[in-house]
Amino acid sequence: MTSREMNLWEQHCCLPLVSASSDGTGADIAEVARYPLGSYVSVNVGFSPHSYAVATALAEDFRRKALSDGRFRMVDEVPDGNLITLAFDLEDSGPLEGDLDNVAHFHRLGVRSMLPSYNWANAAGCGCLDTDDTGLTGYGRDLVAEMNRVGMVVDGSHCSTRTGLDLASATQVPMIYSHSNFSALWEHPRNITDEQAVECARTGGIVGINGVGIFLGKNGRDEGAQRVQTMADHIEYGVDLLGIDHIGIGSDYSFDHEDFNLELATHPEAFSEEYTKYGMLQWVPPEDVVTLPAVLRDRGFDEASIAAVYGGNFARVAARSRATGR
């Protein structure tokens, strides 16, 4: 079985967060078609700076463009293995603007997973860059309960260690780390501890390995091949730690990488030295993500294990969340 015969589940990537303007421009949804037909791809539609109105406009614009393109189906439509299934995610609960009823609103637009906090503390909990980690708040626990009820997957990426552990104890269904690597292999505040990973797996959840250079320790312009191999290192480590059922792929590829690097350069205060000290950030693009089955095969993974990591595990968690949210 080749990667073309497997269905890739890409749990997180990013388009430019600009919706259609008066001249009809904005993010190009066709970029997502760089993933193979039959893939499931979750695209970010907002994070901490974005309001309810802006995140709504982004989701509506991306949805409209996808449905008019012809190569996509939305996650809430009839399955079609000949198309790319498109879902959305939110990288912070800020766009809810404190109203838990808005969880259902964004779910209707196609948002299927959400982070309570992004890097820094907010009303729901702490972020991975906070030095004072007080964990999930009372509002954050109410948010988890509402996400469970609606059928939106709870995501601990970018959250603090304590917040991530609290999410695992609060959720009644599997949680995920959609795009987080292991700090045991590369120490970075965005990477997660073994304890976080084990508690996530205890819920039945998945750790999605990302391809961001600074989270892999391979951020050189000429280190593209090493980044893919290091993703495989994290996959192997996760499988040894958690078992084959709890590892997937969330590459965090930024189709808006030029915009993101500009944001780092012009607004470093919004991040930290742990983001800015490495120079221009590098990513593993879709064309390299799809080589992971061959890399894992060379490392002795059998076909069933490769299929689980490449897509089957995240598909199982999504099905469990849908069933609970009905």
Give dist(CA 181, CA 243) in Å, integer: 15
pLDDT at 24: 56
For residue 16, give the 3-state DSSP assignment: coil
Tally the domains of the chain. Answer: 1
Number of C-beta neighbours around residue 94 at 10 A: 23
**What backbone torsions phi and psi does residue 72 show, to the nearest 5 degrees?**
-125, 155
pLDDT at 274: 87
pLDDT at 269: 73
**Domain containing residue 170: CATH number:** 3.20.20.140
Query: CA of 170: how far to CAs of 140, 144, 226, 250, in Å?
Result: 9, 7, 37, 23
Q: What pairs with residue 208 in β-bridges?
A: 248
247-249 and 206-209 strand pairing: parallel
Q: Which two tokens stand for residue 68?
A: 């008019």
* 273 falls within a domain: no
* 2 falls within a domain: no
pLDDT at 20: 63
Q: Which two tokens stand for residue 201?
A: 């797996």
* 218 falls within a domain: yes
pLDDT at 137: 98
Give dist(CA 239, CA 248) in Å, integer: 10
* 272 falls within a domain: no
Give the residue among 44, 31, 39 at the shortest CA–CA distance from 9.
39
pLDDT at 22: 42
Give dist(CA 65, CA 78) in Å, integer: 18
* 303 falls within a domain: yes
* 181 falls within a domain: yes
* Side chain identity, residue 147: M
Q: What pairs with residue 159 in β-bridges?
A: 127
pLDDT at 1: 53
Structural domain that includes position 110 = 9-254+284-325
The enclosing H or E element of 323 equals helix 313-325
* 61 falls within a domain: yes
pLDDT at 45: 97
* 313 falls within a domain: yes
Output the tens digit of pLDDT for each of the chain's 326 residues: 555 568 999 999 999 998 765 445 689 999 999 999 999 999 999 999 999 999 999 999 999 999 999 999 999 998 898 999 999 999 999 999 999 999 999 999 999 999 999 999 999 999 999 999 999 999 999 999 999 999 999 999 999 999 999 999 999 999 999 999 999 999 999 999 999 999 999 999 999 999 999 999 999 999 999 999 999 999 999 999 999 999 999 999 999 888 889 888 887 777 888 888 898 999 999 999 999 999 999 999 999 999 999 999 999 999 998 877 75
Q: How many residues make up the chain in this entry? A: 326
